[in-house]
Amino acid sequence: MANIVVIGAQWGDEGKGKIVDLLTTEVGAIVRFQGGNNAGHTLVVNGQQTILHLIPSGILHQGKKCLIGNGVVLDPFVFCAEMDKLEMSGVDVSPARLVISNKAQLIMPYHRAIDGARENFKSGADKIGTTGRGIGPCYEDKAARIGIRAADLANEPLLRHKIEKALVEKNALLQGLYGQVPLSAAGIFDQLLPIARRLAPYLGDISTIIQDYASQGILFEGAQGTHLDIDHGTYPFVTSSNTVAGSAAIGAGCPPHMLERVVAIVKAYTTRVGAGPFPTELQDEVGSYLQTQGAEFGATTGRKRRCGWLDLVVLRESQRLNGPTEIALTKLDVLGGLDELKICVAYQYKGQEITYPPQEENGMAQVQPVYETLPGWQEDISGCRNYHALPQTTRDYIARIEEILGIPVGIVSVGPDRDQTIIRS
């Protein structure tokens, strides 16, 4: 049984949740390896929608082990609310099948306070478009070695000490620079205590569980997309963690040789939430059409997503960073009704044509897309369940993506529901 890494190949929102849900049938355990509740994975099963922010998308499959890796920053309040919602829907979220790594870092109320205050303090082009969930400040504390880890929930004296110690610095920043009201260590501890006692049974050694389930197959679930990676994305308009496939081993706690099959999730067009360069963005009726037809609203923030043509320059970079073995092409049905489609095959940059993104900071804001035009299709393909049932122009669009990137499209999604999927390999 092959182990599978599922990553987003663009700027997130590619439809990873659906593909993870689909591939969960092939494995015994699913582990989320990075990010926090700044990403939402939307699942539709038999017409019923479920949005998850922290709990792995495989949770809807009975009997599958779901793990939160050490690379995740976990908001314990959000996690408990998510468990409550799933329990109300009849989903088993007991400690027997849902485990949090002892090493995962916790997002605290002061992280959220600093995140919001910092973004509000900025103006104009300096704004990053953060979700304000405390993700960045939590990763900062992890790197500074002052973070609170999930294991600390089971050690109440240590937990209180760490909160008190952290607030010396955090309150100085909140009060002195941002003009905010200082936070109370006792208040935060009292608020967290019942949550800590509830989550203590969920703590575990994820590396051992991965080792135990290796023969059944492991699915490594990423959040966000490749071009939001803290190192390899469109810096500084990025997230605060490494989103590329190689980080699955670090964020889950396993050797790299376990990462056998890498599935790159590619939306059939391109979207982006928040600030940052977006070479193929469409601010016209076609962009509005994609936004409306694709229901392009952030699952976490509710913000409208910016929409544009498929960018193969961005995907070439994703290819060399992640080494995908196949592509899962999502939201192909959204393109139906357009007379012609464009794909970006290169950029014009400083008088030259380039086929990979420029590496300089904000270089992507200075490029002009070079397009290739393909015929569109008018048919509704959402009911297609066989590849050859797709219109020829649709298959030509897929074939051109495969030809340029040199990667097979193994999965084609033609709608949000689990069964609106064509499996080619």
Catalytic sites, residue numbers: 13, 41
Question: Whole-angstrom Cα distance, residue 291 to residue 117?
Answer: 30
Distance of alpha carbon 363 from alpha carbon 129, whole angstroms: 19
CB 46 within 8 A of CB 417: yes
3-state helix, strand, coil in the chain (%, to 5): 40, 20, 40
Cβ of 271: how many Cβ atoms within 10 Å? Answer: 25
Cβ-based neighbour number of residue 312 at 10 Å: 24
Residue with tokens 């936004």: 291
Q: Which two tokens stand for residue 314?
A: 């961005």
How far is CA 24 from each of CA 69, 80, 218, rounded to the nearest angstrom? Answer: 17, 23, 9
Instruction: Please list, in sequence order, all residues whose beta carbon lies within 8 angstroms of the beta carbon of residue 357, skipping any fewer than 6 positions away.
Output: 234, 313, 314, 317, 347, 363, 364, 367
Question: Is residue 208 classed exposed, middle or buried when 0-12, 13-18 and 19+ CB atoms within 10 A define those classes?
Answer: exposed
Who's near 277: CB < 8 A, 6+ residues apart? 234, 237, 362, 364, 365, 367
| Closest among 48, 46, 43 to 16, alpha carbons compared | 43
- Backbone φ and ψ for 259, nearest 5 degrees, come out as -85, 90
Q: Which of 34, 33, 35, 26 is nearest to 4 (CA)?
A: 26
From residue 91, alpha-carbon distances to 61, 62, 82 in Å are 9, 8, 11
Overall residue count recorded for the chain in this entry: 425
**One-letter identity of residue 212:** D
Task: Tell how strand 306-308 and strand 270-272 pair up.
Answer: antiparallel
Residue 47 CA to residue 419 CA, distance in Å, equals: 10
Instruction: Return the beta strands (E) in 283-408 as ranges.
Output: 306-308, 310-311, 326-330, 340-349, 352-354, 368-375
